[in-house]
Amino acid sequence: MDLKFVFLICLIPAASAKFQVEAKDKELVVAVGSDVELPCTLSPPSSAVGLEVRWFHTVFHSVVYLLKDGREDRQQQNTEYRERAFLKSGPQTGNLALSLLKVRLSDAGTYHCFVENETAAYDEEDFVKLVVIGPGSPPLVKVSLQDSSVQISCSSSDWFPEPTVNWKTDDEAFVNEEMTTSHKQTDGLFSVTNNILLKDSSEGNLFCTMKHPVTGKESGVYVIVSESMFPRLSHWAILFFVLLVLSLGAFAFVGWKFYAYCIEKEKQLSSKENILKFSLKQSFSLFFQLFRSKNLNGEKLLYTKNPFILIHIQPFVGWLFLQTNTLFRQLNRNKMSPQVKTGLTLSRVFLLSLPLIQGSTTGKLKSKKEVESSGQLALQNRQ
């Protein structure tokens, strides 16, 4: 064997033992759900035999991808990265870039590219910082009425971290707005909403902007504010309210008059009842005086047979019966206390039986009609 060839073979491991690992980009910003390539180069390129290429996340044992002697080791790989992480090339080309598919929020952090020559006990590494963001969706505007003002809502979703929301006018002046409200979605991203309340169209058109705190990128929506957006009462609405107020006033006036009429009617009934009580009292007083009275012969006037006295007594009895009967008929149609009703009933019965008593003494009975006729005659004589 040629000694020169043997010498060259012995020099190959020694030459391959020294290498350099470098990540050109120290920080990458990537949107959630997209694919990314973490750069790492090996110089000079080397055979994969005797080399270990390890990508790990933050700590050494959190293996993202592992290549030993040119073969992938999936046993030590973190389950979160299976089927998502692989090398685009290999040590032979010097390109050790890691391809990561469908980036998640949990993928954010520092990734280390570690290369070790186990034979020479030599290793090198470099790192790349991965920043995962939610770029957010285009803002949407919703206009709604709130009393006599207009509320404009600017909302967007799929942000990470939360954006800064501002309202601007055409001349770039900031407009005071309410506090931004945010809500965390199930995927860890944020949805945000910001409201502004306009009383009139004097502030002009508005521009809602949402700025990403990491990238500084702005997205927004332009709102044209016009007078037609604000509520105004039509002539028909004004006429309706005027008629409504007048109708309510008319109903109130009619109700008050009806109430006053009922009160006045109650007073009149009470007055008639008092008059009736007084008349009954006076009538019974006069009747009992007549009942106890006697003529010159010592006879009671109620049972006398003297024609002259009967001529004067019987018309009085008829008149008293007529007055009592008239009052009873008038008050019977309205409210009447039980005491007054009982008194009137007894008076009618008593006065109706009086002609029977007188008739038994004179031998001639008078009917109810005759009593009423004599009462009417007596009333004409009194007038």
Tell me if residue 207 falls in helix, strand or coil.
strand
Provide the pLDDT for residue 382: 45
Domain boundary residue among 134, 154, 176? 134
Q: Are residues 312 and 209 both part of a single domain? A: no
Provide the pLDDT for residue 4: 43
Q: Are residues 309 and 329 both part of a single domain? A: yes
Provide the pLDDT for residue 358: 47
In a domain, 12, yes or no: no
Q: Are residues 129 and 164 both part of a single domain? A: no
Total structural domains in the chain?
A: 3
Provide the pLDDT for residue 6: 40
Are 35 and 102 in contact, with CB atoms under 8 Å apart?
yes
- Give the tens place of pLDDT for each residue, 78-116: 999 999 999 989 999 999 999 999 999 999 999 999 999
Calpha distance 291→285 (Å, rounded): 10
Provide the pLDDT for residue 71: 93
Q: Are residues 319 and 333 both part of a single domain? A: yes
Q: Are residues 26 and 111 both part of a single domain? A: yes
In a domain, 77, yes or no: yes
Domain boundaries, position 54? 19-134
Give me the CATH number covering residue 98. Answer: 2.60.40.10
Provide the pLDDT for residue 244: 84
Provide the pLDDT for residue 232: 66
Specify burial of residue 87 (Cβ count, 10 A radius: 0-12, 13-18, 19+).
Answer: middle
Percent of the chain whose predicted confidence (pLDDT) is above 70: 62
In a domain, 10, yes or no: no
In residues, how long is the chain? 383
Q: What is the pTM of this model?
A: 0.57
Provide the pLDDT for residue 361: 44
DSSP bridge partners of 360: none
The pLDDT averaged over each successive group of 10 residues in the chain (383 residues) is: 42 59 96 97 93 95 95 93 93 96 97 93 96 96 84 94 91 76 94 89 84 94 80 66 84 86 76 63 59 51 48 54 59 55 58 49 46 48 48
**121: amino acid identity, one letter:** A
- Give the tens place of pLDDT for each residue, 177-195: 677 899 999 999 999 999 9
**329: amino acid identity, one letter:** R
Tell me if residue 145 falls in helix, strand or coil.
strand
Specify burial of residue 29 (Cβ count, 10 A radius: 0-12, 13-18, 19+).
Answer: middle
Q: Are residues 150 and 123 both part of a single domain? A: no
In a domain, 234, yes or no: no
Q: Are residues 148 and 172 both part of a single domain? A: yes
Q: What is the DSSP string of 216-269?
A: --EEEEEE---GGGS----HHHHHHHHHHHHHHHHHHHHHHHHHHHHHHHHHHH
Q: Are residues 50 and 103 both part of a single domain? A: yes
In a domain, 247, yes or no: no
Instruction: Match 């090198």 to its residue by tokens.
Output: 124
